Amino acid sequence: MSAPFQAVITGTGLYQPPHVITNAELVESFNRYVDLYNEGHAAEIAAGAVVALAHSSVEFIEKASGIKQRYVIDKAGVLDPTRMYPRFGARGDDELSLMAEIAVDAARKALAAAGRQPEDVDAVLCSAANMQRPYPAMAVEIQQALGAGGYGFDMNVACSSATFAIEQAFNAVRSGQSKCVLVVNPEITSAHLEWKDRDCHFIFGDVCTAVLVERADTAVSAERWDIVGTRLATQFSNNIRNNFGFMNRAEDSDPDARDKTFRQEGRKVFKEVVPIAAAHIEGHLDALGHRPAEVRRFWLHQANLGMNQLVIKKLVGHDLAEAGSDVAPLILDEYANTASAGSIIAFHTHRADLKAGDLGVICSFGAGYSVGSVVVRKR
């Protein structure tokens, strides 16, 4: 049996939506919705039948999350206090799907960065927290739109979808099954967020990332990152959940019920996921013969500022305020939580200054619970 091929990351791409929603804009819209709700349910509120909704604030959002703005594909629908979710135009079956459209954009950028053409790709993995439809697979549509060869399939591991897909790409390349694998993460999170819920209305933003994983001996890119190792883990939890699915109709359940959009027990998630993520990273590094202190940069999942600060503190003994953004850069303030794409955006935007031999960790953690880590070294 031949030795495994070395797999390298040769390019990344980022699709950034055209619209920005600042916290101030979001709060203004949300508070108007609250006023309309409370006015419309005044009698029930007075009788104690329903609870009055509370206003949000910029201070609350930034203290709770560290988020200052987010990018979205549609802004008007989200900020309409009588709607409070995006408005996307329906597309015919003969038109390119919205999710495929943004994936193709990010993919072309990743291919250009790697010096590759679509026909060089022999596998496309579309991995995201939510898929636009069950079938045909989004990956196959993206494959066709690009003009790539080989095969494609979809994956969903919530906020760890990107790192889980990178491991599949890594294994395909290392085994010799594929030479060039494209991983795309189209995250249209605005469509599954409950914008009417004060506890989470500020969390998500839209984006798409792409990563190209290739055999080192056939890569042409000047920039290459050796994939030193990958590790995945899951542990079941209901603390982050979305019950939307194809069985809803058969269950005669309300398609607009609160459980059909994103919901979480935020305090429980914070308390439970931080130690899981920190122990996972430390254990992965140890298995590869490294210590956290040897890592030049951590590109962590971008869900919550406090969560990332505590993960870093557990790993290297000081928080982000002391370590600075150099150790674990944040993109959360600009992009908000972008599900699986967050750690990839951090890697995409904060890696140019690293030198040959520098070690880094791309890590995601989220619903499942799921955690995935990719240890890389710059060539």
Residue 199 amino acid letter = D
The full set of domains in the chain, from first to last, is 225-378 (3.40.47.10)
Average pLDDT of span 329-341 = 97
Cα-Cα-Cα-Cα torsion 75, 186, 128, 113, nearest 10 degrees, comes to: -140
Tell me the C-alpha to C-alpha distance, in Å, between residue 253 and each of 8, 15, 259: 46, 35, 10
Average pLDDT of span 6-16 = 98
Buried-exposed string 190-214: b where 16+ CB fall within 10 A, e elsewhere = bbbbbbbbbebbbbbbbbbbbbbbb
Contact 166, 230 (CB under 8 A): yes
Contact 56, 159 (CB under 8 A): no
Beta bridge partner(s), residue 376: 227, 360
159 is catalytic: yes
The per-residue pLDDT for 246 is 94
pLDDT of 16 above 70: yes
| Per-residue pLDDT tens digits for 256-292 | 999 999 999 999 999 999 999 999 999 999 999 999 9
Whole-number Å distance between alpha carbons of 9 and 179: 12
Whole-number Å distance between alpha carbons of 314 and 309: 9
Beta bridge partner(s), residue 211: 12, 183
Give the CA count within 13 Å in the CB-facing half-sphere of 102. 22
Average pLDDT of span 126-154 = 97
Which of the four pLDDT bands, split at 50, 70 and 90, describes residue 82?
Answer: very high
The per-residue pLDDT for 317 is 86
Q: Copy the structure tokens of residue 132.
A: 């636009």
Which of the four pLDDT bands, split at 50, 70 and 90, describes residue 346?
Answer: very high
Buried-exposed string 291-304: b where 16+ CB fall within 10 A, e elsewhere = ebeebbbbbbbbbb
pLDDT of 321 above 50: no
Average pLDDT of span 351-361 = 98
> Cα-flanking dihedrals φ and ψ of residue 184, to 5°?
-120, 145
pTM over 0.95: yes
Given the residues 126, 159, 200, 208, the one annotated as active site: 159
Which of the four pLDDT bands, split at 50, 70 and 90, describes residue 324?
Answer: low
Taking all residues of the chain, what is their mean pLDDT, rounded to a whole number?
96
